[in-house]
Structure 1
Amino acid sequence: MNTIICHSFPAWDSPYVKSTLELITRLASTHRVILLDYPYTLKDYWKTDYAPKAQLRGKDGGKRIILTEFGQVEVYNSLPVIPTNWADNKKIFNLLMKANSYLVGKTIRRILRTVDPKNTHVINAFNPVFGHFTRHYWGEIPVTYYAYDEMSAAPWAEKWGKIYESKFINSVDRVVVSSTGLADKFKQLHPKVNCVKNGVNLKYFEGEEQSSRLTRKMGYLGAFDERIDLELLKATAEAFPDYLIEILGPVKITSISALPQRVVFLGAKPQNELLQHLSQWEVCLIPFRKTPFTQAIYPLKINEYLAAGKPVVTTDFADLGDFKGLIRIAQDPIEFIIGIQREIRGNNRLKSAKRREFAQQNSWEARANQFINALAS
């Protein structure tokens, strides 16, 4: 294949790290890459700060050429679509989605006029509803479904996501997933399933460790959302009264007022600013609840923590067997707190070097090569 078209749910202009975008930028070094961007709604147009409003109004046919450090990515935006999450009735939902697929289909036709179908592959990145309703536009071009979360447990997809994922699966050529939990699920649904786990952007996480003994710190990197076990985090703060617990990422829940003041929210930061905070942490945390949603996760942050050489203490929220001997996995809150104590006491340069060495094998460049091999399998 010479051309890869990514029909994406993650938005190109999203300020957060997304596996889809990390992968396709690397693929641009060896392929022509076209991104059919997130289907912004009319509501998104007015309320989403990072929405590319000029393209959503049709400027330059909704097309942008983005020059990345790896290669060129062609980003296409359709006109804004009709919001559908409010629709509880299947007939109404289908009617709205047919209208939306017509809008997106116009952009798909525009893209297809520029490619050779015989040398093109489509990746649908966790967008099965639009994937189902626009599948016919791609014709005989092979389509791969890329699933990086558990659709049935995603709060934003609870009405229709699971239903249309099961329909869409029947029309795709293969499935690529990001965790062993998702692989187990999809192997029961499709004959061709490959697992390509999340990677790490090494240049942002490799660096010399800093020391901040005036204030001892530990921390969590990533979205602070419904995955977080707030009671566990509260207990951790109470068990370590001499430490600040820094939260480095967007806060997406409101129930944080009961947390001690030693839990400090720094907000979302650009990738190139993360290491200056993370390097001061004596231990990195993943205090996730164990739910159907988290059981399907291969978290980005583990490789980021390890690339920085940091000790990691996590709950047993998913299959983390890849990291055996490198991180501490706690079965309950007591183990979690004891694990933090032991990782702080037992950390040394040799352990730090082993963590970095492991993370270097899991760069996004390596993952992109695995993804290409999966498409060809």
Structure 2
Amino acid sequence: MSRAEAPSTHPTPTSAGAAGDYVFTFSYESYADASKRGMMRPPDRLVSRLMTSPDVRRLLIADPFRSSRTRWGRAILDIGNNAPVDDRIRHVAPERLEKADPTDLAEIEATYRAYESAVRAAADTAGLVRPRFITANPLVGGFSALDWAGPALYYGRDDWLSSPARKRYWPAYEEAYRRIAASGRAVAAVSEEIIERIAPTGPHAVVPNGIDPDEWLGPQPEPPSWFAKIPGPRAVYVGTLDSRLDTEGLSRLATSRPDLHIVLVGPRPDRSYLAELRTHPNVHVHRDVKRRAISAILRNAELTLLAHRRTPLTEAMSPLKLYEYLAAGRAVLATDLRPVRGLGDRVLVADSVSDFADLVDPALALGIESEPRRRAFVDENAWSARHERILALLRT
């Protein structure tokens, strides 16, 4: 018996029926990318669940296509962050010469049929039998035949058809959405907007982002020293500091409320984008921090911010940070976007970030959420429950 065919020693399944085989494919980032950021994004969380679930007999984790020309450089950068491979978990990193996808639809189809072929070969080598197929890449979900696999599911954590950075691929995403719908494949999406844009004919559900209780429960953590030096009240935004962030509105908020210290924490793809904000003495920009520090920052803040522009992209998001803000027990000032509504009276919404100034005092008056209610929110919105809803679509 080969290593790929060795019997699993995984625990007995917890749900009805025998454990099954699974394939999981990332969208545009690799397992190593996910590991380096602390397995914090929704697809990372889902593959982590599959890796530890007793309902999974064997699992193949598939990275997106990468150029063979950069293989050695990636291998060095990814040291210590590669997927754990054993008799139960396998990993495949398909390669091609090109760095980027083509834009022609016929070439896109050929590209993703080649990708599917590489994944299928790895699944066969690993001894997977009619694996359930989960992908976070709409092009994989739409352009793959998957006649060798079991039920398939597309996991939509973003509406790629609304992403300005990927505008040249919009026709491909539109066609992929059409094919996903026509195929009857399952769709789990973080917002109703994504479901509406795909219009799936198979099993589907809106499954918002969630929380890892281990990160948010427990004793009050000490804040990082740099954060403790910032005077209060402090209003914190955590996330990528890019075009989603309404810098003009935050500038007006900083001007109208000089007593409020606005703290922006996250990576900055374009440092010039925050140039205007950095002229305000009560705006503090801090580079991205380790995952462990996020909880400590938020649980020591006075307010939190969902300071997004209103765009098709932000309308289709399920803001992960919003659930983390509430898990921290802090009141939220948020742009009035559809996925934000219905999360309770501790989320104060305004038409735009420019209107946040009028909500600062009412939000501060709410204080910190009581510990029993904070714990209840964390338990009700745990990733474990979200994942069960996603995986149930493959059993429908």
CA contact (8 A) 2:62 2:91 kept: yes
1:146 and 2:164 are equivalent in the alignment: no
Structure 2 partner of 1:301: 321
> What is the identity percentage for the equivalent residue pairs of Structure 1 and Structure 2?
19
2:123 corresponds to which letter in structure 1?
A: I
Structure 1 partner of 2:90: 74
TM-score for both structures, normalised by structure 1: 0.83
CA contact (8 A) 2:132 2:149 kept: no
Return the offset for 1:44.
6.4
Which residue of 63, 80, 84 maps to 2:100?
84
1:155 and 2:175 are equivalent in the alignment: no
Return the offset for 1:198.
0.8
Q: Residues 96 and 114 (structure 1 numbering): CA distance in 2 closer, same or farther, change over 3 Å?
A: same
CA contact (8 A) 1:129 1:168 kept: no
Q: Residues 96 and 316 (structure 1 numbering): CA distance in 2 closer, same or farther, change over 3 Å?
A: closer
Structure 1 partner of 2:182: 170
Q: Residues 200 and 80 (structure 1 numbering): CA distance in 2 closer, same or farther, change over 3 Å?
A: farther
Which residue of 184, 205, 217 maps to 2:196?
184
Q: Residues 52 and 166 (structure 1 numbering): CA distance in 2 closer, same or farther, change over 3 Å?
A: farther
Q: Residues 270 and 39 (structure 1 numbering): CA distance in 2 closer, same or farther, change over 3 Å?
A: farther
Q: Residues 214 and 226 (structure 1 numbering): CA distance in 2 closer, same or farther, change over 3 Å?
A: closer
1:344 and 2:327 are equivalent in the alignment: no
Structure 2 partner of 1:315: 335
Structure 2 partner of 1:218: 235
Could you say what secondary structure the match of 1:288 adopts?
coil
1:257 corresponds to which letter in structure 2?
A: A
Structure 1 partner of 2:275: 257
1:204 corresponds to which letter in structure 2?
A: E
1:204 and 2:215 are equivalent in the alignment: yes
Deviation sequence 1:84-138 (CA, Å, 0-9, x none): 35x55x2xx64476356436623431223324434x200111x1223444x2355
CA contact (8 A) 1:204 1:271 kept: no
Q: How far apart, in 2, do the equivalents of 1:44 and 1:239 lie?
A: 49
Structure 1 partner of 2:139: 129
Q: Residues 66 and 345 (structure 1 numbering): CA distance in 2 closer, same or farther, change over 3 Å?
A: farther
Q: How far apart, in 1, do the equivalents of 2:256 and 2:25 lie?
A: 46
Deviation sequence 1:132-159 (CA, Å, 0-9, x none): 44x2355252211111111211134322
Return the offset for 1:324.
2.7
Structure 2 partner of 1:330: 350
2:211 corresponds to which letter in structure 1?
A: V
Q: Residues 99 and 284 (structure 1 numbering): CA distance in 2 closer, same or farther, change over 3 Å?
A: closer
Deviation sequence 1:202-236 (CA, Å, 0-9, x none): 22233416685861122101111111111111112
Q: How far apart, in 2, do the equivalents of 1:269 and 1:72 lie?
A: 33
Structure 1 partner of 2:204: 193
1:323 corresponds to which letter in structure 2?
A: L
Q: Residues 247 and 182 (structure 1 numbering): CA distance in 2 closer, same or farther, change over 3 Å?
A: same
Q: How far apart, in 1, do the equivalents of 2:346 and 2:70 lie?
A: 41
Return the offset for 1:37.
1.3
Instruction: Identify which range, 109-118 or 304-313, moves more after superposition.
Output: 109-118
Which residue of 120, 132, 151 maps to 1:108?
120
2:43 corresponds to which letter in structure 1?
A: T
Structure 2 partner of 1:58: none
Could you say what secondary structure the match of 2:288 adopts?
coil
1:256 corresponds to which letter in structure 2?
A: L
Could you say what secondary structure the match of 1:112 adopts?
helix
**Structure 1 gap segments, 5+ residues each:** 56-62
Structure 2 partner of 1:59: none
Could you say what secondary structure the match of 1:35 adopts?
strand
CA contact (8 A) 1:84 1:96 kept: no
Deviation sequence 1:280-301 (CA, Å, 0-9, x none): 3110001111111111111111
Q: Residues 184 and 214 (structure 1 numbering): CA distance in 2 closer, same or farther, change over 3 Å?
A: closer
Deviation sequence 1:238-279 (CA, Å, 0-9, x none): 223233322121112332111124322222222112122222
Which residue of 22, 25, 38 maps to 1:7?
25
Could you say what secondary structure the match of 2:110 adopts?
helix
Structural RMSD (CA): 3.1
Q: Residues 208 and 50 (structure 1 numbering): CA distance in 2 closer, same or farther, change over 3 Å?
A: farther
**Structure 2 gap segments, 5+ residues each:** 1-18
Q: How far apart, in 2, do the equivalents of 1:154 and 1:198 lie?
A: 19
Q: How far apart, in 1, do the equivalents of 2:291 and 2:331 lie?
A: 20
